[in-house]
Amino acid sequence: MTGGIGSGKSTVCSIFEHLGVPVYNADNRAKQLMAEDEELKKKLRLAFGWDVYDKNDELDRAYLSKIVFNNPPQLRILNHIVHPAVFEDYAQWVKKQMDAGHPYSVKEAALLVEAESYKELDKLIVVTCPLYTRLERITKRDGIRREEVLKRIENQLSDKDRLQHADYVVKNATNFSLIKQVLLLHKEFSLKLSSDSKSMS
């Protein structure tokens, strides 16, 4: 599952979780790995300098953000270091969910299309949301100015580009119920997987 900043991906994922579906948040997991994985920390220090971690050995996110923000070559270096670690971690996580008997799981990530990692998944769900709602949500959530939010949105892929790769679309707007949309998807996925299991047996 993917979508632009402030589109409501986390809200949609929380509904799946309430239905008992395991959800892997790639962005949060990447932060954890950057804080805990010693090999990854070593690579980040080599690429961005020792100041990328402070004296307490904690990632200095503000320092790293200044380096990669509005600097595509540096951002590509960061992604080239972090994405493989997340991919390996995700593969191990998926195996655990399958071993636990879960019929399907959801991977949530902001850059699924940009990184082309959606190609490794069975289906792609894109969450869309009106721009004015996204602006209001992010300014309140992150305490930043509207202009800065617009910059962040402009630095991301457009909904139009994401939708070209979408298998399913969840519309996070006033006239659409998120719960109903997720319930329909859950029903479809569960029925399909149940049918596939019977045909294989």
Q: Residue 198's domain is classified under what CATH number?
A: 3.40.50.300
Task: Spell out the alpha helix ranges (H) of 37-170.
Answer: 38-48, 61-68, 72-99, 131-142, 146-154, 159-163
Last residue of a domain, one of 101, 129, 161: 101
Model confidence pLDDT, tens digit, residues 58-114: 999 989 988 987 788 998 899 899 989 999 999 999 999 999 999 999 999 988 998
Residues 200 and 176 reside in one and the same domain: yes
Residues 46 and 61 reside in one and the same domain: yes
Residues 11 and 47 reside in one and the same domain: no
What pLDDT sits at residue 148?
Answer: 85
Residues 41 and 70 reside in one and the same domain: yes
What pLDDT sits at residue 85?
Answer: 93
Reference 2, options 30, 25, 18, 22; nearest CA is 25
Model confidence pLDDT, tens digit, residues 153-178: 887 889 999 999 999 999 999 999 99
Structure tokens at 26: 């790639």
What pLDDT sits at residue 195?
Answer: 56
With 0-12 / 13-18 / 19 or more C-beta atoms within 10 angstroms meaning exposed / middle / buried, residue 7 is buried
Residues 34 and 73 reside in one and the same domain: yes
Residues 189 and 149 reside in one and the same domain: yes
What pLDDT sits at residue 2?
Answer: 96
Residues 94 and 45 reside in one and the same domain: yes
* Residue 198 predicted with pLDDT over 60: no
Number of domains in the chain: 2
Residues 4 and 49 reside in one and the same domain: no
pTM score: 0.87
What pLDDT sits at residue 201?
Answer: 41
- Domain extent for 159: 1-22+105-201
Residues 125 and 199 reside in one and the same domain: yes
Last residue of a domain, one of 55, 78, 101: 101
Model confidence pLDDT, tens digit, residues 11-66: 999 999 999 999 999 999 999 999 999 999 999 999 999 999 999 999 999 899 88
Residues 130 and 170 reside in one and the same domain: yes
Model confidence pLDDT, tens digit, residues 107-162: 999 889 988 889 999 999 999 999 999 999 899 888 888 888 888 888 788 999 99
What pLDDT sits at residue 193?
Answer: 64
Last residue of a domain, one of 66, 101, 136: 101
Residues 84 and 177 reside in one and the same domain: no
Residues 68 and 140 reside in one and the same domain: no
